[in-house]
Chains A and B, each alone.
Chain A
Amino acid sequence: MADTTFTDNRLAIKAGENPRTRGVKRAGSGRGPNGRATNRLPGERALVASPGTWFVWAGIVVFFLFLFGILISVLVDSFGKQWFSTWLPEAFSADWYARAWNEFDLGHVIGVTLIVAFSVVAISIVIGVPASYVLARSNFPLKRLVLGLFLLPVLIPPITFGIPLATVMYNFGLGRTLLAVILVNLVPSVPFVIITMTPFIEQINPSIENAARMCGAGMRQVFVRVLGPLLIPGILAAGILVLVRTVGMFDLTFLVSGPPSDTLVVAIYRAMTSAGGSEPRALVSAMAVMYTVMMLIILIVALRFVNPTQLVARVRDTSDD
């Protein structure tokens, strides 16, 4: 796959080589220092897109075809009646939504999902941000050990710690409770907040805090008056990533939840795999559409406020090419 891409790009350069340079044929300028022909002048662009560009766009188109094919077919299926071997269902209705809502008590399920998600976000920020502040600002013995400890839950597959954790939860009699679902989801979320917030805090100039301290601010005042406002974009970004992860988290929730504490993803999975022949396909589709709509609302609201890439790197739009 990659090879073809690069060969195509090479072709692109070759293709750009020939007749494109308008009119005047300059003698020496067509050769690079190593004798290879490069007649496009620096900074000049080909007028016609090169095969490489076509290839890239073709890849994007195929990807989006699949993506929208998946999305739209689920959407159509959820509204369709008796869709078997035709392009579109024979009739449309919203019955499946009503049925799914009543049969699975989706009001309760969505409520559980939102409670779990928002409490996980709140708790992981309250626990995580102070910790990442310490990790960003001070050096102390065993710092590397602590860092490693926070890194592990993010790196290890959820099932690996999920199964022992779920066993412990059941031993404590917490199995299938809302509390267990929240606790389990916190395990990857707190380290996630710490890992994303530490570099964010590092980039805040410490002399601002020092100045505040010089002026007599205590620890709490420094946090509330000085650091807090500076941290808000980072906290929002981390919080939204945690929110999305938690709503979409299947593995961990599935291990400890039971019917009263199922989140939406788990409820859909159970409907798809329920014993004795799964539920009608359209019923599952209707639930899946509701899930996506919920996610989209969360994300659209979120993206109004934050830029999710601002934690990874400060993106700079390049001015040329």
Chain B
Amino acid sequence: MTSATQARTGARSTASLKHRMAERGIDSRLWLLVPAVVFIVALFVYPFAYGIGLTFQPIERTVTQWGGGIFANYVAFFKDPFVFESVWLTMRLALPAALFNVIVSIPLAFKLRGRFRGKRFMSTLLVLPITLGTVLTAQGLLIFAGRQGWLNRFLMETHIIDQPLQLVNNYLGVMFSLIISGFPFAFLLVSSYLSGIDPSLEAAAKTLGANWRQRFRRITLPLLAPGLATTFILTFVLAFSVFPSARLVGDPGGSTRVMALMAYRAFGEQQNYSMASTIAIMMGVVELIVIAIVLLGRSFLYKGSTGGKG
């Protein structure tokens, strides 16, 4: 680094151009980066920019209905309650699901750290929901928790309820599917962050007489917090783009009319590519706002060498 500053402050170096470039980090190794950059520009940046451009080319129907010239798609997005409501409906699903997954993972990860018999078996079992995938989870929920399913049947037989509970084809169904698919993921992340915290810190606090609550609040939680924020972001991203389960176990016309569903409807069913891009990009904007808020909060947290690095 010092040589780089020397080069910047003048003192005309006699080294070759190649050498001077290398001092600033431009050397032949950078060629290794080229395929990835080309790839990302061609398949991500270009389509994305194209999509943004597309949002300013509304089809005629949108313009005549909502006005606003080239901004007609955005006018339609904010003014059409059928579309705009989906933002709220998505948040109502994704935020509680992500929060639940992270918060419940903490005590579980705490209890299950350390060694006990069958630990490996249990972590293997927790990987299981990943193999199910959203579609099978949806199918299983429809059968298991449906009106004729085992869950309702059991509750009825034991006379806990009289009427079968409506657990699928509504908000609850999607929530269940989000928890089943998101929770193991959150749990595995939180426990790996937790295991990154040096246990001797807690042992030290213990010898100094801190009780369970003090140790958790003053030592473990602050160290774990950045990791928790990261876990929250990742589970939120998963839950936010929920699409198949909202369609299959949800109520796609009503309470689980999430943004992804609206975007797909405009894309696949109405062939309105510009409106579809608008909804899709607004979806990204909403998600990035939430992530930015969490990251801002996270930047105030301690991120030292020990602990739940995130």
Tell whether, in the assembled complex, residue A160 and residue B139 are in contact, meaning their CB atoms are under 8 Å apart: no
Judged by a CB distance under 8 angstroms, whether B45 is at the interface is: yes
**Chain B residue nearest to A191 in the complex (CB):** B40
Contact B100 A1 (CB under 8 A): yes
Q: Chain B, interface size: which category?
A: 35 or more
Question: Does A85 lie within 8 Å of B273, measured CB to CB?
Answer: no
Q: Report the stretch among B66-74, B75-83, B274-282 that lies at the interface.
A: B274-282
B133→A130 contact, CB < 8 A: no
Chain B residue numbers with a CB within 8 Å of A167 are 47, 50-51, 54, 267, 273, 276-277
| Interface footprint category on A | 35 or more
Do the beta carbons of A52 and B111 come within 8 Å of each other?
Answer: yes
Q: How far is the CA of A134 from the CA of B211 in the complex (A)?
A: 47
Whether, in the assembled complex, B33 has its beta carbon less than 8 Å from a beta carbon of chain A, the answer is yes
Q: A2-B106, A66-B180 are in contact. Are A318 and B29 (CB under 8 A)?
A: no
Interface-side segment among A3-11, A18-26, A94-102, A114-122:
A3-11
List A residues 64-79 near B (Cβ within 8 Å): 64, 66-67, 69-71, 73-74, 77
Q: How far apart are the CA atoms of A43 and B206 in the complex, in Å? A: 9
- In the complex, A85 Cα to B146 Cα: how many Å? 11
Please give me the residue from chain A that is nearest to B212 by CB atom.
A13
Residue of A nearest to B282 (CB): A160
Partner of B124 from A2, A186, A187, A303 at Cβ < 8 Å: A303
| Any A CB within 8 A of the CB of B257 | no
A162 to B11, CA, bound (A): 51
Bound complex: CA A303 to CA B130 (Å): 13
A285 touches B139 (CB 8 A): yes
Main secondary structure of the interface of A (DSSP, over half): helix
Q: Establish whether residues A64 and B125, one from each chain, have CB atoms under 8 Å apart when the complex forms.
A: yes
A131 at the interface (CB under 8 A from B): yes
Query: B residues touching A (Cβ–Cβ < 8 Å)?
Result: 24-30, 32-33, 35-37, 39-40, 43-48, 50-52, 54, 100, 103-104, 106-108, 111-115, 122, 124-125, 127-145, 148-151, 153, 176, 180, 183, 188-189, 192-193, 195-196, 199, 203, 206-209, 211-213, 233, 237, 240-241, 243-244, 247-248, 259-260, 263-264, 267-268, 273, 276-277, 280-281, 283-284, 287-288, 291, 309
The chain A residues found within 8 Å of chain B, CB to CB, are 1-2, 5-6, 9-10, 13, 32-34, 36, 38, 42-43, 52-53, 55-56, 59-60, 63-64, 66-67, 69-71, 73-74, 77, 84-85, 87, 126-128, 130-131, 133-135, 137-141, 143, 146, 149-150, 152-153, 155-168, 183, 186-187, 190-191, 194, 219, 244, 248, 250-251, 255, 265, 268-269, 272-273, 281, 284-285, 288, 291-292, 295-296, 299, 303, 308-309, 312-321
